[in-house]
Structure 1
Amino acid sequence: MSNTLLEVDNLQVDFELPTGTVSAVKGVSFTIAENETLALVGESGSGKSVTSTALMRLLPEMAKVSGAIRFDGENLVEVSHSRIRKLRGNDISMIFQEPMTSLNPLHRIGRQITEVLKKHRHMDSGAARSRALELLAQVGIPEPEKRIASYPHELSGGQRQRVMIAMALACEPRLLIADEPTTALDVTVQAQILDLLADLQKRYGMAILFITHDLGLVRQFAERVCVMRQGELVESGTTAEVFANPRHDYTRMLLDAEPSGRKAAVADSAPLLLQAGDVHVRFTTKRRLFGKDEKFEAVRGISLDVRRGQTVGIVGESGSGKSTLGRALLRLLKSEGQLRFEDTDISGFDKSQMRPLRSRMQVVFQDPFGSLSPRLTVGEIISEGLRVHFPELNRREREQRVIESLQEVALDPLMRKRYPHEFSGGQRQRIAIARALVLKPDFLLLDEPTSALDRSVQMTVIKLLRDLQQKYDLTYLFISHDLAVVRALADTVLVMKEGQIVEQGSAEEIFAHPRKTYTKTLLEAAFLNDDRAA
């Protein structure tokens, strides 16, 4: 039996705010043995990340921590700041959820890795660089000699996450805390990152605390699982036990929160709403004073027809051209080829020519917080489009439209006086949908609208989109790397790779009988250990 490495005993975390005390973690207890992987799961706001941050003693001064956190018998709640700084990096390391905000954008990745080695292992520059190259190779970064000089923005999402893993493992810690390390990554990259962590765990003999809201990942990666809800631990046990016989209603809800159902295909006789013929999108990557500019072709000769009431799902890895194609179809990007919206050829339309059609062609983006102005109330955000496209409406009529739109997405109209930061991620996504719906569009481009949401919240958004489509005969172009969501929403699926469509067909055909190796790879990565994929 392995020795206990970490023991969390009756951990309590309270935040002293001007408005009162908020209890984020309420008497949580668990243990992690050497070489073990324990998953801490729950929805956003359940206290998972606060718990992990408390283990590292990285909480702000307003946080009051009580209970015990014993690492190898030493209570981290009581040790000095100098002692905890020595333990961080050396014995306990952490991989954060969003590497782009954790990595310094002004420094090359080589410098960021060598800083860890110089600080904790007191290596000189030459030894630190050699170790950094070794780590980059271990985590699967191609051409480490070249990439060590790259800045974070020059790497893909998966590569940035690998750099974060390299930094965390630089000093060979005994405990690795992985906080949502695969959120918003492609399914194939998710699988690669989990395989990498498993391999590195064996190599270094470390324990892992794996924090996630995705129970599908837990099933394939962790030996034991603890389920958190509203700051409390509601269930724990071996992964096999919890998945086979969940005892708590909340655990059962999480396990059942998998996108389900299928959309009936639209008849071939349905009228065409959008047609694209041989669409190309090229970006200039380098301008030259003499000679030709260097260009990158992001979309290569794609043709498709979208019928009224249809949901076309577009899937593929990051960089496959999904979002670029979607924006090109709505003339949000310059493109070549034929584009027709109903009976209108919009191929050469500029911004002013497209403006009358914008009310009928709307977009819901991946990150609602980034696309909602923090300075405007929800009511002002939703009514903006009405001011532009329906200037004949008076103030009272606009207000009524806003109220109706919020009701459509199941939000209290009284919320229109509040600001975006006062809402949860799922609520902000509903606000983004309400902003699009208020204009009564025919066509909605949905670009990764559920990627960063908990599964249970995804379920409510999917149901909302289905209901709205049925009620208003809406047409969706749904872009996502989450194949479970696409399977539940789309009746037609396009699979993209390197700017081209490699396979297309009905959702039933694509998911049940994929023909191309690339499609099979995506499906295998998305539904690992999931017998419902058959």
Structure 2
Amino acid sequence: MPQPLLEIDRLRVDFDLPGGSVAAVKDLSITIHEGETLALVGESGSGKSVSSTAAMGLLPALARPAGAIHWHGGAGDEDLLRVPPKRLRQIRGNEISMIFQEPMTSLNPLHRVGRQIIEVLTKHTALRGRAARARALELLEQVGLPEPERRLASYPHELSGGQRQRVMIAMALACEPRLLIADEPTTALDVTVQAQILTLLKGLQRRYGMAILFITHDLGIVRHFADRVCVMRRGERVESGETAALFAEPQHAYTRMLINAEPQGRKAPVPTDAPLLLEAHDLRVRFPLKRHLFRPAEYFEAVRGIDLAIRWGQTVGIVGESGSGKSTLGRALLRLLESRGEIRFGDTALEGLDSSGMRPLRSRMQVVFQDPFGSLSPRMTVGEIVGEGLRVHAPELGRRERDARVQEALDDVALDPAMRHRYPHEFSGGQRQRIAIARALVLKPEFLLLDEPTSALDRSVQATVIALLRDLQERHSLTYLFISHDLAVVRALADSVLVMKDGAVVEQGDTEALFQAPREAYTRELMQAAFLEDAAA
């Protein structure tokens, strides 16, 4: 049996807030053994990340930890809650390292990648100058970053999300730690990049013999990645055990709920004679790269000659990796971007319309964005946010009529209309997404562009939002264009699917037919990376 490496013993973390004390972690006890992968799972707010930051000594000043965190990393039994700050800094980076969820906010945008890796090496090792640079280059090679020599001189914004995450892994492994804490390291990544990062972590774990504490809300990843699982809810451990046994026979109702929260069901088909609502032919979008004085400008073609037809009541899913052109296509269809080609909404040709010509159609075509917090004004109440569109598109409505429409929209998305006087920060992620949907519905549109509306949500919250979207579509005869990199969600919602790569459609067809027998290698790669059980081999 491997020796215990980290033992969290009855950890409690309270936050002293203006309204009183809040317990974020309550009497948590877990053990991580040498060389194993322990997954800490649960919904947002369950206390997963607070537990890991307590182990790293990174809790904010208003936090009050109690209990003990025993570290057996080489200097005997040390309680990380009580070791001197100097010793804690030695442990942090040298013996325990951490990868955070969003690499763009963790990397300094003002410094090149090489400098940031070398800084870790000079802080924690004796390497300097050329030796430190050589080690930084070696680390980038180990994490599989293409053109590592050139990437040393790159800034974070010049890298893709997956590349930035590889840089974060390189920095975390710089000192060959014995424990790596990975806090939601794949949540914001495409399924193919996600699979690459997980494979990379497993390979590096074998190479260095390190243990991994893997924090996530995605049980699909846990099933394939972890040796043991600890399930948390509201700051407490509700269940733990070997991964295979826990998935085969979960004992706690909350664990069963998490496992069963995967998107379920299939959409009822649309009649084949349903009229066309939105269609496009040879649609192209390009962005200027460089302008030259004596020769033609250079352009990047983000969408390349796409044909699309969406019928009334239909849901068309668009899937593909980041940079494939999914969101660009959606925004071009709504004339939010300049494009070439033909676009027709009902009986109206859109390609020749300017912003004033499009305004009468805007109430019929609405958008729900990926990040509900970023797309909702923090300075407006929910009632003001939902009712803002009515001021523009229904100016004839009086204050009381407008308020009644707002209440009706909130009721439609299963939110208490009495909440309309609150602000967005007072709601959970799932509730904020419902507010974003209500803002779109208040104008009674016929068509909704849903751009990654569930990617930032827990699986259980995802399931409720998917059920809500299905219900709204049936009640209001809505037509959806659903953009996502989550194939399980697309399968549950869409009638047909377009698979995009490098701005072009590589495969399209009926959802079930495409999932059962994908023709293209790229589609099969997406499905295998998503850990879908019935993906083609």
Same fold (TM over 0.5): yes
Tell me whether 1:52 sits opposite 2:63 in the alignment: no
Q: Distance in 1 between matches of 2:508 and 2:475?
A: 27
Deviation at 1:285, TM superposition (A): 1.6
Deviation at 1:287, TM superposition (A): 2.6
Q: Distance in 1 between matches of 2:248 and 2:478?
A: 39
Q: Distance in 1 between matches of 2:178 and 2:131?
A: 22
Structure 1 equivalent of residue 14 of structure 2: 14
Structure 2 equivalent of residue 195 of structure 1: 199
Name the SS of the counterpart of 2:39 in structure 1: strand
1:178–1:210 contact (8 Å) kept in structure 2: yes
**Of residues 161, 164, 176 in structure 1, which corresponds to 2:165?**
161
Deviation at 1:291, TM superposition (A): 2.2
Tell me whether 1:79 sits opposite 2:83 in the alignment: yes
Letter paired with 2:4? T
Q: Distance in 2 between matches of 1:287 and 1:158?
A: 30
**Of residues 454, 457, 470 in structure 2, which corresponds to 1:450?**
454
Matches within 5 A, 1:105-504: 105-504=109-508
| Alignment deviations for residues 384-423 of structure 1 (CA, whole Å, 9 cap, x no partner) | 1000000000110110000000000000111111111111
Deviation at 1:18, TM superposition (A): 1.4
Q: Distance in 2 between matches of 1:284 and 1:23?
A: 52
Deviation at 1:527, TM superposition (A): 2.1
Structure 2 equivalent of residue 24 of structure 1: 24
Tell me whether 1:92 sits opposite 2:96 in the alignment: yes
| Alignment deviations for residues 162-210 of structure 1 (CA, whole Å, 9 cap, x no partner) | 1110110011000000000000211111110000000000111100000
Deviation at 1:469, TM superposition (A): 0.3
Q: Distance in 1 between matches of 2:292 and 2:252?
A: 63
Q: Distance in 1 between matches of 2:361 and 2:435?
A: 22
Letter paired with 1:208? I
Letter paired with 1:332? L
Name the SS of the counterpart of 1:354 in structure 2: helix
| Alignment deviations for residues 3-47 of structure 1 (CA, whole Å, 9 cap, x no partner) | 111011000000111111100000000101111100000000000
Q: Distance in 1 between matches of 2:418 and 2:337?
A: 37
1:41–1:211 contact (8 Å) kept in structure 2: yes
Name the SS of the counterpart of 1:370 in structure 2: coil
Structure 2 equivalent of residue 2 of structure 1: 2
Q: Distance in 1 between matches of 2:518 and 2:8?
A: 46
Q: Distance in 1 between matches of 2:2 and 2:500?
A: 46
1:28–1:233 contact (8 Å) kept in structure 2: yes
TM-score (norm 1): 0.99
Letter paired with 2:69? I
| Alignment deviations for residues 119-138 of structure 1 (CA, whole Å, 9 cap, x no partner) | 11132121111111111111
**Structure 1: 5+ residue stretches without partners:** none
2:517–2:536 contact (8 Å) kept in structure 1: no
| Alignment deviations for residues 25-84 of structure 1 (CA, whole Å, 9 cap, x no partner) | 000001011111000000000000000010001001111111110110211111011111
Q: Distance in 2 between matches of 1:289 and 1:510?
A: 48
1:38–1:224 contact (8 Å) kept in structure 2: yes
Q: Distance in 2 between matches of 1:447 and 1:53?
A: 32
1:527–1:533 contact (8 Å) kept in structure 2: no
Percent identical among aligned pairs is: 74
Letter paired with 1:85? R
2:524–2:535 contact (8 Å) kept in structure 1: no
2:516–2:535 contact (8 Å) kept in structure 1: no
Aligned length: 533
TM-score (norm 2): 0.98
1:265–1:492 contact (8 Å) kept in structure 2: no
Deviation at 1:532, TM superposition (A): 8.4
Q: Distance in 2 between matches of 1:415 and 1:201?
A: 48
Q: Distance in 2 between matches of 1:427 and 1:372?
A: 12
Structure 1 equivalent of residue 530 of structure 2: 526
2:137–2:149 contact (8 Å) kept in structure 1: yes
Q: Distance in 1 between matches of 2:260 and 2:181?
A: 27
Q: Distance in 1 between matches of 2:95 and 2:209?
A: 12
Name the SS of the counterpart of 1:194 in structure 2: helix
| Alignment deviations for residues 246-277 of structure 1 (CA, whole Å, 9 cap, x no partner) | 00000000010010111122122101101100
Q: Distance in 2 between matches of 1:533 and 1:75?
A: 49
Name the SS of the counterpart of 1:396 in structure 2: helix
Q: Distance in 1 between matches of 2:526 and 2:181?
A: 27
**Structure 2: 5+ residue stretches without partners:** none
Deviation at 1:279, TM superposition (A): 0.4
Deviation at 1:533, TM superposition (A): 8.2
